[in-house]
Amino acid sequence: MWKGRFAKDTSTLVQDFGESISYDWRLYPHDVAGSIAHARAQLNAGLLNDEEFSQIEKGLREIEVDIREGRFEFRTSLEDIHMNIEAELTKRIGAAGGKLHTARSRNDQVATDTRLYCRTQIDSMLEAITALQNVLLDQSDKNAAAVMPGYTHLQRGQPVTVGHHLLAYVEMLERDKGRMADCRKRLNVSPLGSGALAGSTINLDREAIAKELGFDGITHNSMDAIADRDYIAELLFAISMMGVHLSRLSEDLILWCSSEFGFVTLSDEHTTGSSLMPQKKNPDVCEITRGKTGRLVGNLMNLLVAMKGLPITYNRDLQEDKPPLFDSVDTILLVLAVNTEMIGAMEMRQDRCLAAASDPMLLATDLADALVKSGVPFRSAHELVGKAVAESVESGVPLDELDLEKIDEAYTPEMKSVFSLQTALAARTNTGAPSIENVKREVERWRACL
């Protein structure tokens, strides 16, 4: 690439240290697409004739097939996917291949390739997220009326339904999709034509190149176009945030399938046993999901730290943007797929959920609300119910069996009616609340949305 300037070959150790072909080879379909669009612009500008363009396009397509089918031999001495493809093209078609890099730098080439890669992977992730949302909806529908405790501080709080609980994760995943879509929109501009940092004196039709590659437009500052890796950082954040959501879902499932909770049974296909304890059935998918989230967050930190001290425009440090990107994309797609399969196969134990929700303490707030409806200020009602709870704990008499009128005259016999799970849920009709009818409507709304 630079033999005219250097008298000695690069040391083998430096080649090994600086190569990126061991991981950036996977950009090959995007590199081929970008090169064909660039060559077409050269043709339209009179830099190539029809025969030369045909040779370049045909040669690149053949190389693409060879790579896809595992027949292509990558060379570390050529550093990266761009030079491996260009060198092979020139070897196959001769002088025309040497013209391809006219008015282009590896700097704008890699910026184009990574944008195309991110765009493709975002589309795959959006499909995978929707698939997970759909199985969560199926479980929400099946368990729309299955009552369970809702928790704060991992302590029983108020009654909800399993369907309502699972729909919370559908909401989270929809926000993840929104972040992905926003990221896709921002990255979908073409930097090709920005050159090394200052464009080129050979002006090609950048808009035509962008249109051929499916970009919405072009970048407008050549230096920023080369330096920009915001879109990768943004995508890694979106993936990390989604990982956090899936980790929280995993934590719920880990608790639910423990003997202490017993709310869910995961299928044999999605659990493992113990090499020592024959009775064990471990939620390894959930645990590995939870563990991989740290890896996703670490990849984001990796890139941000690499970027933070770089002057614009291109610095070789930016070569380190791809390992965390590729790893996070591969990881989250696998996490989404395995969780979709696992959640689709799990069975909620509605009897255990109902037994846990039948603790009358879960309706203490409803009792306070009943006092408020009778004219008692909420803070006073809160105190009165607190006294009743303390009496229940001390005496061992369940809250719904206490003689509340002996505690305070503000209590009336009718207030005992609050100790009904069905009544309590039916009263929660505000949008976003867990009445069974609300849950069923939300399931149908989400099905229409998805």
pLDDT digits 0-9 by tens, 232-274: 999 999 999 999 999 999 999 999 999 999 999 999 999 999 9
pLDDT value, residue 449? 96
Q: What are phi and psi of 159, to 5 degrees?
A: -75, 140
Under the banding of pLDDT at 50, 70 and 90, the label for residue 360 is: very high
Under the banding of pLDDT at 50, 70 and 90, the label for residue 16 is: confident
If you average pLDDT over residues 84-97, what whole number do you get? 98
Report the alpha-carbon distance of residue 414 to residue 398 in Å, rounded.
17
Checking 329-333 for CB contacts under 8 A at 24+ apart, the result is 329/121, 329/125, 329/239, 331/243, 331/292, 331/295, 331/296, 332/125, 332/239, 332/242, 332/243, 332/296, 333/121, 333/124, 333/125, 333/128
If you average pLDDT over residues 324-337, what whole number do you get? 98
pLDDT value, residue 307? 96
Which residue in 195, 226, 219, 189 sits closest to 321, CA to CA? 226
pLDDT value, residue 11? 87
Q: Does 199 have pLDDT greater than 60?
A: yes
Tens digit of pLDDT for each residue in 377-417?
999 999 999 999 999 999 999 999 999 999 999 999 999 99
pTM given for the model: 0.95
Per the CB < 8 A criterion, the answer to whether 292 and 337 are in contact is no
Q: What is the mean pLDDT of the chain?
A: 96
- Active-site positions read 153, 274
pLDDT value, residue 20? 97
DSSP 49-105: -HHHHHHHHHHHHHHHHHHHTT-----GGG-SHHHHHHHHHHHHHTHHHHHTTTT--
Under the banding of pLDDT at 50, 70 and 90, the label for residue 3 is: low
pLDDT value, residue 315? 97
pLDDT value, residue 287? 98
pLDDT value, residue 10? 82
Q: 116 vs 109, 237, 355, 416, CA distance in Å?
A: 11, 18, 52, 63
If you average pLDDT over residues 421-429, what whole number do you get? 95
Under the banding of pLDDT at 50, 70 and 90, the label for residue 2 is: low
DSSP 24-39: HGGGHHHHHHHHHHHH
Amino acid at 20: S
Q: What percent of the chain has pLDDT over 90?
A: 96
Which residue segments constitute the domains of the chain, with CATH numbers given? Answer: 12-102 (1.10.275.10), 107-201+214-355 (1.20.200.10), 359-437 (1.10.40.30)
Report the alpha-carbon distance of residue 249 to residue 339 in Å, rounded.
10
Tens digit of pLDDT for each residue in 92-142?
999 999 999 999 999 999 999 999 999 999 999 999 999 999 999 999 999
Please state which of the ranges 9-13, 111-115, 347-351 shows the lowest mean pLDDT: 9-13
If you average pLDDT over residues 61-68, what whole number do you get? 98
Tens digit of pLDDT for each residue in 271-284?
999 999 999 999 99
